[in-house]
A and B are shown apart, each in its own frame.
Chain A
């Protein structure tokens, strides 16, 4: 390849691809840049047209972000290569169960059973339809589907909305805003989890604190959902609204504490086993 890098080329590296060209290439280059007939006889790769740069030319020409991308790719490929040389693993260092076939075979095997279960459920428990929409009569119970109860419950946190003494008992944000914000806060906290809990630990016993947090969270999802339907709960169980509100926050704490205690107790013996196996698998260097 030759003669197409005059415009933007600012590199000073030798153009290795010119080496194989025979005598008189300078002259031919001058002819060829006008897109004239290609009379090359050296058997090189013929570009689509005279302006088309080769891949290596493209790479050398790039600037700015694409240049950085190339440079990073080169580095990371190098790193991979070095790591692979240094490693005693047969293939890549990614340690995980392969999705195919391990996971997929099991999933495919269960698929028809699972679909059958849904069909059975659908046939056995048909849905019903409430009366038509009527803007003039508010029903006694307004509820979304069960999976939104938690969100609905978070809208009812009015008693927790702090009243500022400074503002003379005024609330800083209205109760409605407070409820919506509570939803956003809960979801964003969950989204942050991978950035808060790092490290190689996977099993609950390895990190009793995080496991307890999870248990508390799950229980809270249920209690806050129960709070959302407090009318129904009050009708079924002998529990007042205030008690229900307290239980909503106490029960998750209790559950988290229990989970923590249990895991912490299990931890010693379990971790001993785990560590033994772990270090047998990956002896320290």
Chain B
């Protein structure tokens, strides 16, 4: 008896019989090779199943139900604002990741000058010397501002089309959290260059934190790393801006849009 495993399903011969184009042949060979090792087909089947399930769950709108597709809801263009927020967020994330290569959150002074912190001079370097650096910082700032504007307008759209009503209350509340976090995102980023404006905006932040009743000092310690601004403040802002907030906001956006996907877009009637 041969040790060679008998191949009940001779895929090779099957491929021969198919008269495949080179592309198809390479594709099938790779697919079979991977499937033998990883059982890909099972997962493809799962995906397919999910695909059809999503499509089966498509909510019916009045428009479809009664064949009214000639009715145009004239606020409809404003329904793109939510996706504008998402796109601006993605652009900000990518340009921010690139900026991160050239930035270090430190208030150590460099070059013997008392005011030249590492953070500040890094930003100067990005703007002055780095190829495309000025554009990168510009893009990051603009996408952040566009995102904030789009989120605000998106909220107005949702409000004035009454889209927050019955099954969508949860998404409204998630939205409130998102718009707040978007602003915190902006605020923490504003402090990072450690410029004069950054510093004094930070000062106001500490004062606001301190004036929260009961837990004020605790909050100031936690968020700003103390009651006066310094290295600790900058580092906390940095970690918030590039680590904590990205995870939380990305996750929340995913949930937010997931819920929209399940519920469909609120329809005017």
Cβ-defined partner of A92 (8 Å) among B54, B57, B149: B57
B29 at the interface (CB under 8 A from A): no
B59 touches A198 (CB 8 A): no
> How many angstroms between the C-alpha atoms of A83 and B168 in the bound complex?
21
Cβ-defined partner of B61 (8 Å) among A95, A195, A274: A95
Nearest CB in chain A to that of B257: its residue? A99
B196 touches A130 (CB 8 A): yes
B260 touches A99 (CB 8 A): yes
B249 at the interface (CB under 8 A from A): no
Given contacts A96-B265, A203-B161, contact A106 B80 (CB under 8 A): yes
Chain A residues with Cβ under 8 A from B61's Cβ? 95-98
Nearest CB in chain B to that of A211: its residue? B160
A14 at the interface (CB under 8 A from B): no
Q: How far is the CB of A58 from the nearest CB of chain B, in Å?
A: 23
Cβ-defined partner of B264 (8 Å) among A98, A180, A200, A211: A98
> How many angstroms between the C-alpha atoms of A176 and B183 in the bound complex?
20
Given contacts A98-B59, A142-B201, contact A199 B165 (CB under 8 A): yes
B264 touches A94 (CB 8 A): yes
A194 touches B87 (CB 8 A): no
B137 at the interface (CB under 8 A from A): yes
Q: Could you tell me which residues of chain B, from 192 to 227, have a CB within 8 Å of some CB in chain A? A: 193-201, 203-204, 207-208, 211-213
> How many angstroms between the C-alpha atoms of A102 and B159 in the bound complex?
21
Give the interface residue-count category, chain A. Answer: 35 or more
B70 at the interface (CB under 8 A from A): no
B127 at the interface (CB under 8 A from A): yes
Cβ-defined partner of B211 (8 Å) among A89, A135, A176, A274: A176
B65 at the interface (CB under 8 A from A): yes
Interface string of B230-261 (1 = CB under 8 A from A): 00000000000000000000000000000011
B60 touches A89 (CB 8 A): yes
Chain A interface: which of B9-17, B35-43, B112-120?
Answer: B112-120
A201 touches B162 (CB 8 A): yes
B211 touches A180 (CB 8 A): yes
Chain B residues with Cβ under 8 A from A95's Cβ? 59-62, 65, 264, 267, 269
A148 at the interface (CB under 8 A from B): yes
Give the interface residue-count category, chain B. Answer: 35 or more
Chain A residues with Cβ under 8 A from B127's Cβ? 127, 129
B83 at the interface (CB under 8 A from A): yes
Chain A residues with Cβ under 8 A from B195's Cβ? 129-133
B141 touches A127 (CB 8 A): yes
A122 at the interface (CB under 8 A from B): yes
Q: How far is the CB of A224 from the nearest CB of chain B, in Å?
A: 14
Chain A residues with Cβ under 8 A from B261's Cβ? 99-100
> How many angstroms between the C-alpha atoms of A131 and B200 in the bound complex?
12
> How many angstroms between the C-alpha atoms of A201 and B163 in the bound complex?
10
Q: Could you tell me which residues of chain B, from 171 to 209, have a CB within 8 Å of some CB in chain A? A: 172-173, 176, 180, 183, 186-187, 190, 193-201, 203-204, 207-208
B266 touches A200 (CB 8 A): no
B267 touches A96 (CB 8 A): yes
> How many angstroms between the C-alpha atoms of A130 and B263 in the bound complex?
46
A94 touches B187 (CB 8 A): no
> How many angstroms between the C-alpha atoms of A92 and B213 in the bound complex?
49
Given contacts A114-B87, A118-B143, A142-B204, contact A194 B120 (CB under 8 A): no
B80 touches A204 (CB 8 A): no
Q: Could you tell me which residues of chain A, from 262 to 285, have a CB within 8 Å of some CB in chain B? A: 274, 278, 281
B33 at the interface (CB under 8 A from A): no
B137 touches A127 (CB 8 A): yes
User: Top 9 A-B pairs ranked by shortest CB distance?
Assistant: A96-B264, A133-B199, A176-B211, A202-B162, A107-B83, A194-B169, A94-B59, A122-B139, A97-B265
Q: List 6 A-B contacts (CB under 8 A).
A: A95-B269, A97-B265, A98-B61, A111-B83, A133-B107, A214-B160
Interface residues of A (CB under 8 A from B): 89-92, 94-100, 102-103, 106-107, 110-111, 114-115, 118-119, 121-123, 125-127, 129-135, 137-139, 142-148, 151-152, 155, 173-174, 176-177, 179-181, 187, 190-191, 193-195, 197-204, 206-207, 211, 214, 218, 274, 278, 281
Q: Given known contacts A95-B62, A133-B194, what 12 new A-B pairs fall within 8 Å (CB)?
A: A89-B65, A92-B60, A97-B59, A97-B265, A103-B79, A118-B142, A121-B146, A134-B199, A142-B200, A151-B183, A155-B208, A199-B165
